[in-house]
Structure 1
Amino acid sequence: MRRRPTIKDIARRAGVSESAVSFALNDRPGVSAATRERIRRVADQLGWLPSAAARALSGEGSATVGLVLARPARTLGVESFFLQLVSGVQEALAVRGLGLLFQVVEDVDAECAAYRRWWAEHRVDGLLVVDPREDDPRPALLAELGLPAVIVGAPGAGTVPSGAAISCVRADDAAAMASVVDQLHDLGHRRVAHVAGVAELAHTRRRIASLRAEAARRGLREVTSVTTDYSDAQGAEATRRLLSGERPPTAIVYDNDVMAVAGLAVAAERGVSVPHALSIVAWDDSALCRNTHPTLTALTRDTAGFGRHAAEELIALLDGGPARWVEDAAPRLMARESTAVAPGSRRSLS
């Protein structure tokens, strides 16, 4: 575990007093130009950055936890999942008087850079980490920095270093996908498509693997998954490609509500009746799913509660508790008007 460099460390390395370091770094008179330059050079070598708060300088902590979201901001404007998640996080943090520092970045490299900057500036006491990946550099970095963290979702195998102060709060995506395949199979669907999220995410890979495994177990040979960036634009484009094929699916599962609504619109534009010619299922229920026509069958869960549980686990780590893995309630399928018996199936003919 790395320790944040302090003014005392800089003073020791530069061979000057702590007050001289303070004068130099705060651009105050009291030291010569040469000494000021030497102190700043040493500070750069040690990776020192000014603290965001006086409390951090005194070693009392920042009373803040961080959350960085590495997704294009344009994909977040209409998706309710993260808003609900953050509301649950904030509910738990408010009980302890903790603040939430939130940032949106373009990719994981920028996310890691934000972690390093926050660590050096004493901005956060711990982190909530979302969208775990299969080959994820973030847990190792957090272990190196010594920042307590909670991963929201199951991390990729072997990505969390042994002994790190990193907990995990997850729900069983594979079981949730199995429940969807069960329902669609019972309705006679044999051609099922999955409009998935970002390919690098661990939960995307688990959902794709679960779909394939469940399809193989039932002898379903016409099953496919396509990955997207979660946006309505890519969800719509994926739907157009699927419906333009020689043997289009009779059911499509979407990895969020926004893409499912976009897919419903594409079906209407092409004259494909939902649910009589095409069944649609959305991952993560929302007001969008409940207020479309037809209403959308969806996997539902207490997303705010999921965020609250993750924040509570982080608070437990900050209080000195052990790192642990917590299984949250799995999403359950809520059948609505967008799913029905597959066209041409024995059930529809009986």
Structure 2
Amino acid sequence: MGPRKAAARPTIAQIAERAGVSAGAVSYALNGRPGVSDETRARILAVAKEVGWVPSTAARALRGGGTATVGLVITREPQMLGIEPFFMSFVAGIESVISEQGYALLLQVTPDPHRELNTYREWWSARRVDGVFITDLSLDDARLDLLDELGLPAVVVGDPDHARGHTAVGSNDAGAAESAVTHLARLGHARIGHVTGPASFVHTRVRVDAMRAVASRLGVEVVPEVYSDYTLDSGAAAAVQLLDLAEPPTALVFHNDLMAVGAVRAARERGLSVPQDLSILAWDDSPLCVLSEPRLSALSRDIQSYGAEAAKALLDTIRAGGETTGSYLPSNAQLLERDSLAAPRRLPVG
């Protein structure tokens, strides 16, 4: 048997014939240019989707039409992504939007922040992407300077107040922190432990400041924060550190679900029961929270929708030639109570 002949790619002419329009009209519609009515554009796009048409990225790049590719660099240890639910849901949200627009996602994982900067330079120099997502925004973030230097379109996934004029899609972290402290105070907790991500992250600083402000207003004490790295083991270690205080907190708030699960394990190893002896609240809900024993209460937000909003904002920015298209705070966490929160009782010391 000879080699199987590759199927021919659908052409603009074929789409035009099926849609009953000219090839020029198809070109206008597929490239997002004016020249056709909304009704005609919708009909052309429907036919293109039906026949499986996708743009040639090489041809687009040669004629200055872009690559139809957006980039995301995640600076984490690679093994973390297999167990950290946030980025998987976030990427799913991105894909739900860009795939409908004929775009692809170029994803790279690196443990090295300097390598992340070099990746943006390489991608933009080689015309591999039309724009990028910037996650885990840091205080004095060098990536923002690089974006300005390169003229690389981007969306900052983080607090708009720290995006330095770039399009930003953020989360209402201050509001979520207020919900957490207020709820725990109503349960009767007077000392709350706070286990965060890296101190350099903007969202860490926003959450810390908000929790302290709300606690002060309510007459509640947030014990000195423990800065961590989002891993299971770091959550367990942070819980032990806080429980070893002369006057340990009666409730712990963690910046992600993995650390909260680690804290449950650490509490159990010390003979403590959650929530009877210790209340635990996770930031960002996930299946891990439901599978935990007890089931973890969480500050729950729709991460997939968060990714989708970031993707829409990036595509808008690319179409605007890299100009800022605005800032948004679409992600609002709701406190979802399950089985890990209760009124406090005195903890055994030691």
TM interval, short-chain normalised: 0.7 to 0.9
Match of 1:44 in 2: none
Equivalents in 2 of 1:322, 1:244: separation in Å?
48
Matched, 1:266 2:266: yes
Q: Equivalent of 2:80, from 75, 92, 99?
A: 75
What residue identity is the alignment partner of 1:108?
P
Matched, 1:329 2:331: yes
3-state SS of paired residue (1:61):
coil
Task: Name the count of aligned residue pairs.
Answer: 289
1:268-311 CA distance string (max 9 Å, x none): 11111110110000000011101212111101111000000100
The CA deviation at 1:227 is 0.6
The CA deviation at 1:233 is 1.3
Q: Is the CA contact (8 Å cut-off) linking 1:242 and 1:249 kept in structure 2?
A: yes
Equivalents in 2 of 1:225, 1:135: separation in Å?
21
3-state SS of paired residue (1:211):
helix
Match of 1:133 in 2: 138
Equivalents in 1 of 2:303, 2:138: separation in Å?
20
1:241-260 CA distance string (max 9 Å, x none): 11122111100001100110
Equivalents in 2 of 1:343, 1:187: separation in Å?
11
3-state SS of paired residue (2:224):
strand
Match of 2:6 in 1: none
1:1-350 → structure 2 map (5 Å cutoff): 53=58, 55-154=60-159, 157=162, 160=164, 162=165, 166-221=166-221, 223-320=223-320, 322-344=324-346
| Structure 1, unpaired ranges of 5+ | 1-51, 346-350
Which piece of structure 1 moves more, 177-186 or 218-227?
218-227
Equivalents in 2 of 1:59, 1:171: separation in Å?
34
The CA deviation at 1:197 is 0.7
Equivalents in 2 of 1:224, 1:155: separation in Å?
27
1:89-120 CA distance string (max 9 Å, x none): 00100010100000111233221110000011
The CA deviation at 1:151 is 0.7
TM-score for the superposition, normalised by structure 1: 0.79
What residue identity is the alignment partner of 1:334?
L
Q: Which runs of 4+ in 1 moved over 3 A?
A: 52-55
Equivalents in 2 of 1:344, 1:61: separation in Å?
62
Equivalents in 1 of 2:225, 2:161: separation in Å?
20
3-state SS of paired residue (1:310):
helix
Equivalents in 1 of 2:81, 2:233: separation in Å?
12
From the superposition, tell whether residues 142 and 293 of structure 1 become closer, same or farther in structure 2 (CA, over 3 Å): same
Equivalents in 2 of 1:58, 1:298: separation in Å?
49
Match of 1:32 in 2: none
From the superposition, tell whether residues 222 and 313 of structure 1 become closer, same or farther in structure 2 (CA, over 3 Å): closer
Q: Is the CA contact (8 Å cut-off) linking 1:170 and 1:326 kept in structure 2?
A: yes
| Structure 2, unpaired ranges of 5+ | 1-56
Q: Is the CA contact (8 Å cut-off) linking 1:279 and 1:340 kept in structure 2?
A: yes
3-state SS of paired residue (1:147):
coil
Match of 1:31 in 2: none
What residue identity is the alignment partner of 1:64?
T
3-state SS of paired residue (2:344):
coil
Equivalents in 2 of 1:254, 1:209: separation in Å?
15
Q: Is the CA contact (8 Å cut-off) linking 2:193 and 2:253 kept in structure 1?
A: yes
User: How big is the alpha-carbon RMSD for the aligned residues of Structure 1 and Structure 2?
Assistant: 1.7
Equivalents in 2 of 1:100, 1:53: separation in Å?
16
The CA deviation at 1:332 is 0.7
Match of 1:36 in 2: none
Equivalents in 2 of 1:97, 1:67: separation in Å?
17
What residue identity is the alignment partner of 2:330?
D
Which piece of structure 1 moves more, 233-242 or 52-61?
52-61
Equivalents in 2 of 1:131, 1:156: separation in Å?
14
Q: Is the CA contact (8 Å cut-off) linking 1:192 and 1:224 kept in structure 2?
A: no
Equivalents in 1 of 2:270, 2:261: separation in Å?
14
Equivalents in 2 of 1:222, 1:307: separation in Å?
31
3-state SS of paired residue (2:94):
helix
3-state SS of paired residue (1:285):
coil
Equivalents in 1 of 2:224, 2:154: separation in Å?
35
Match of 1:26 in 2: none
From the superposition, tell whether residues 139 and 330 of structure 1 become closer, same or farther in structure 2 (CA, over 3 Å): same
3-state SS of paired residue (2:225):
strand
What residue identity is the alignment partner of 1:205?
R
The CA deviation at 1:262 is 0.7
TM-score for the superposition, normalised by structure 2: 0.79
What residue identity is the alignment partner of 1:251?
A
Match of 2:45 in 1: none
